[in-house]
Structure 1
Amino acid sequence: MPKHRHYRRLVIALGDQLSTRLPSLKGFDKSRDAVWMAEVSEESVHTWSSKTRIVLFLSAMRHFRDELRQKGYVVRYKEFSEGSLSTLLEDFLAKNEVDEVHLVRPGEHRLLVNLSESCSSTQTPLRLHEDTSFYSTPADFEDHARGRKQLRMEFFYREMRRKHQVLMDGKNPRGGEWNFDSQNRKAFPRSGPELLPPRKRFPPDDTTNAVIKLVNEKLPNHPGTCEDFDWPVTREQGLAALQNFIQDELARFGKHQDAMWAGEPFLHHSLISSSLNLHLIDADEAVSAAEHAYNEGLAPIESVEGFIRQILGWREYVRGIYWSYMPEYLERNAFEAELDLPDFFWTGNTEYNCLRDTISQTLKFGYAHHIQRLMVTGLYCLLLGVHPKKVHQWYLSVYVDAVEWVELPNTLGMSQFADGSVMASKPYVATGQYIKRMSNYCSGCRFDPTKRTGSDACPFTTLYWDFLTKHRVKLHSNPRMRMQLRNLDRIDTAELQQISLQAAAIREQRELTT
């Protein structure tokens, strides 16, 4: 069978690689090369993605396609089709003569394997590029990890600060400290957050509206809604979102970054993680903008350092963890948790104020900030005993910024502690009193976070003490858990038995809805 066309280089641009700064595009010859992109049903159902997440990816892809074509790139683009990326690529390679496929390391191990196999099966050479939008590569992380008994983000973060001279005065950190986290844990006053400036919004254009129509018609049963969609879908919009945060929110971001407030999903958070993870903007652009704000006296050190730590520290660290331990990392389950995810995670219809507010905003906007994810939905799943892979699949499904390289270690490792202390030094477990201290969720809730047992005891509190009891032996060797275990020892046997019975009842009726 004769080949349709000949391409010197076919550059694959995945849905989270929407940047003309991709290293695979360097040396691109617009007369002999082409960019290959495809929208496929498998990526929506492999993980049962929410409508908001699907709209974001497809709209951003189509806008990037149009940008490339306006700049003279040849783009071979397949709109929403049945099948998988690997099948469509293999078919394209079989029908066309391609000298070499160029691919930037994907954000998911599965895709790297599948696309590599497609090239192999058609005997097409594949060149893999490292992603230069990050500060470090998987090889850099391996160098950092070599010889260490434990991996800890703080030490990696300091190494990155030194290497890239971010917030540094020579060899010393700006402000005299590496980490200002202790200053960034304040709750809002009882009156709530101060006046919040209007959030920068990006109403759907014709391209996005066409995608919304497609998703509603083709994927009507997927969770969430497209009605409030206004996320950035172009580089211009991503940069505008970053500028808005730096100018209007960064100064107030720090001290309340762990606080929560009912009905206020966005607060002072940056809302740029989806733009970063789709490559609309690069990490160094965000870090440089924040450091410049500090140098100009526009934001205090605790806000700037806290923001930079999320990008230069956590974001790079979790990517290193992901590529160091995949694919076996996905199967880890240190606490042998086996329960299904409660059904109300797909509706928000629950009696628990904190979970109802967090899940409802998640399904509406595809967003919840890091403490809502870690200490509300994640904490509940950990204490309840939900299988960590099911928790991971939910997070990957519903959040617009979820790409597996960043979502999986944060969920399975940090939130669920299922990796057995690879990612974090201790499980993030607490009673309902933590939620009361950091939010107003407990106001008006029928559950009392101070009570361990009884009809009005907070399920978070009951499950917390049951969790410590069930996993006492495993947790005993962790020095950071000793104080909590000493507190457990102060509870008499009769009450521990009552806690166990009440925890079992909570698990039995875990679908508690309004």
Structure 2
Amino acid sequence: MSQSSVLVIFPNQLFKNHPGIKSGIKKIILIEDSLFFGDFTYQNNFHKQKLWLHRASMKNYASWLENKGFEVSYEEHSINTDVLLKLLKRLKSEKNLNIITCETHDYELNQRLNNHVRQLSLELDVLPSPMFLNCNEENSKYRDGKKRWFMADFYKFQRKRLNLLMDGDQPLGGKWSYDEDNRKKIPKDLFSEIPKLSKFRRNLIEQDAVEYVNKKFSSNLGKIDDLIYPTTHAAAKKWLDDFLNNRFSLFGDYEDAILKGENWLWHSVLTPVLNIGLITPHQIIEAAKKKVHENNVPLNSVEGFFRQIIGWREFMRATYIDLGGKMRTTNYWNHKRKIPKSFYTATTGIDPIDDVIERILKTGYCHHIERLMILGGFMFLCEFDPDEIYLWFMEMFVDSYDWVMVPNVYAMSQNADGGLITTKPYFSGSSYVKKMSNFKSDEWCQIWDGLYWRWILNHCEQLSKNPRWSMMCSMAMKMKDDKKKSHLENAEKFLSTI
């Protein structure tokens, strides 16, 4: 008897050109796996915007497949059941069946899937995924012979490999990175000209997804009063075009800027749809290249955007595969504090922190500098346990997945890995926040600066060995006693109240 095949699609594999959709495949199964919706073991309290995005996009994808003539079934999430194991056991009863899926890009899901397949003696074909530009072999080629990962070197490797923004063998414009030109503060005369995001007319599937989330996940974090994100390929393409036409040109100037009460600024906001497969990095690069020539987009915007897509995103995934296990099991600075409830309710009393958390609760999103330097940096100074911070980011963000949050939290923002992919911890005093934003000096500055100097004073012996921090250590040691005392009192008072 000849084998028949079934394609299993997870919530992050909603590709328009799915490699598994090919001649001979008739049956497709979409599964609301517990990794994406929450389970009894890990008790993940995912943001309602994320749950809605998964439910609506999967149901729209199922409808799209059915319209193409495929036989589609849908496995709904159950909090107390391993839906994947239940599905595979059922497929086991169907003789001579070959199961096909794509790379999962998640360590836990990959382990669980392989264990189930092995225990049930099933046949599984795992296909390469269009989720990333690089395959494992290409990342290994970069890593070969190098003692460690360096983003700057990796990015050069990517630019050359993809022949992107190159002039022969040199970078277009003479510099590999225009990061220094991505740090402008937004002038007041632009406050009223910040572009709005595209709005979509919601179909019945998307409306039903709201009811599904409110009924099944009523106590979860966040709000879904405002439906923001695209849930179809066509809408994702429109979302990309909207960025390229209306925000791309000024993205570079204000990439690192922060504005009170404003969530989107000139950012692309592509990760919610990119990280579930509704659009791919290849599609983004090709569309952006075309728009660069049409609209004469400034080089600092083009390079800054491409650095995010071909550089940072690919770098995070590559280091997750290579070092993720070590990152998530190391607590180099021995931070042990629990994250208090105030960080889930935007009631910390720290203006920039509460402002961004309020926006996250509404949208499940904020931009990368707010994640790294506002949230991550402040949490670092509070000495929260990196495992707690990882869970917080996983639960609060619509675009959070293990492959991106492990390196971003444990390595980038918390330096908990001891510097496997960075050269220093990323944290700042209040002066950086005020420099990049329109937040005014207030009591929050005294607390932030108190935490900043407290941490430096407590770690001067280690920090002084790092050339990038030795000057701050010297300043801390020379600080007048009364000023030092004031900083420490402000810090300890705040920490004692959370």
Task: Say whether the fold is shared (TM-score over 0.5).
Answer: yes
User: 1:193 aligns to what SS in structure 2?
Assistant: helix
Q: Which residue of the other structure, out of 29, 36, 49, is the alignment partner of 1:36?
A: 29
Q: Which moved more, 1:495-504 or 1:219-228?
A: 495-504
Q: Which residue of the other structure, out of 383, 398, 416, is the alignment partner of 2:414?
A: 416
The answer on whether the counterparts of 1:51 and 1:224 sit within 8 Å (CA) in structure 2 is yes
User: 1:372 aligns to what SS in structure 2?
Assistant: helix
Counterparts of 1:408 and 1:203 in 2: how far apart (Å)? 35
Q: 1:379 Cα shift? A: 1.0
The letter for the 1-side match of 2:71 is V
Instruction: Give the structure 1 partner of residue 178 of structure 2.
Output: 180
Q: What TM-score, normalized by structure 2, do the two folds share?
A: 0.94
Q: 1:405 Cα shift? A: 0.8
Counterparts of 1:42 and 1:308 in 2: how far apart (Å)? 30
Instruction: Give the structure 2 partner of residue 250 of structure 1.
Output: 248
Q: Which residue of the other structure, out of 4, 7, 14, is the alignment partner of 1:8?
A: 4
The letter for the 2-side match of 1:20 is K
Instruction: Give the structure 2 partner of residue 470 of structure 1.
Output: 458
Q: Which residue of the other structure, out of 63, 67, 74, is the alignment partner of 2:64?
A: 67
Instruction: Give the structure 1 partner of residue 487 of structure 2.
Output: 499
User: 2:63 aligns to what SS in structure 1?
Assistant: helix
Instruction: Give the structure 2 partner of residue 390 of structure 1.
Output: 388
Instruction: Give the structure 2 partner of residue 454 of structure 1.
Output: none
Does residue 490 (structure 1) correspond to residue 478 (structure 2)? The answer is yes
Counterparts of 2:263 and 2:100 in 1: how far apart (Å)? 40
Q: Which moved more, 1:493-502 or 1:324-333?
A: 493-502
Q: 1:366 to 1:212 in 2, by over 3 A?
A: same
The letter for the 2-side match of 1:38 is I
The letter for the 2-side match of 1:471 is H
After TM superposition, list the pairs within 5 Å mapping 1:55-94 onto structure 2. 55-82=52-79, 83-94=81-92
Q: 1:7 Cα shift? A: 6.3
The answer on whether the counterparts of 1:36 and 1:75 sit within 8 Å (CA) in structure 2 is yes
Counterparts of 1:7 and 1:260 in 2: how far apart (Å)? 56
Counterparts of 1:197 and 1:166 in 2: how far apart (Å)? 28
Unaligned runs of 5+ in 2: none
Q: 1:40 Cα shift? A: 4.5
Cα deviation 1:230-254 (Å, max 9, x = unaligned): 2111111111010010011100111
Q: 1:131 Cα shift? A: 1.8
Does residue 53 (structure 1) correspond to residue 50 (structure 2)? The answer is yes
Does residue 374 (structure 1) correspond to residue 372 (structure 2)? The answer is yes
Cα deviation 1:56-106 (Å, max 9, x = unaligned): 111111111111111122222113334224323332223323532222221
Q: How many residues align?
A: 493
Q: 1:289 to 1:487 in 2, by over 3 A?
A: farther
The answer on whether the counterparts of 2:5 and 2:27 sit within 8 Å (CA) in structure 1 is yes
Cα deviation 1:209-230 (Å, max 9, x = unaligned): 1111111111111010110122
After TM superposition, list the pairs within 5 Å mapping 1:172-321 onto structure 2. 172-191=170-189, 193=191, 195-321=193-319
Instruction: Give the structure 2 partner of residue 452 of structure 1.
Output: none
Counterparts of 1:7 and 1:259 in 2: how far apart (Å)? 56
Q: 1:297 to 1:205 in 2, by over 3 A?
A: closer
The answer on whether the counterparts of 2:99 and 2:123 sit within 8 Å (CA) in structure 1 is yes
Instruction: Give the structure 1 partner of residue 20 of structure 2.
Output: 24
Counterparts of 1:6 and 1:61 in 2: how far apart (Å)? 31
Counterparts of 1:438 and 1:129 in 2: how far apart (Å)? 44
The answer on whether the counterparts of 1:334 and 1:419 sit within 8 Å (CA) in structure 2 is yes
4+ residue runs over 6 A deviation: none
The answer on whether the counterparts of 2:424 and 2:466 sit within 8 Å (CA) in structure 1 is yes
Counterparts of 2:318 and 2:28 in 1: how far apart (Å)? 28
Q: Percent identity?
A: 27
User: 1:126 aligns to what SS in structure 2?
Assistant: strand
CA RMSD of aligned residues (A): 2.0
The letter for the 2-side match of 1:51 is K
Counterparts of 2:36 and 2:302 in 1: how far apart (Å)? 36
Counterparts of 1:91 and 1:423 in 2: how far apart (Å)? 41
Q: Which moved more, 1:478-487 or 1:335-344?
A: 478-487
Counterparts of 2:2 and 2:462 in 1: how far apart (Å)? 60
Q: 1:368 to 1:98 in 2, by over 3 A?
A: farther
The letter for the 1-side match of 2:476 is L
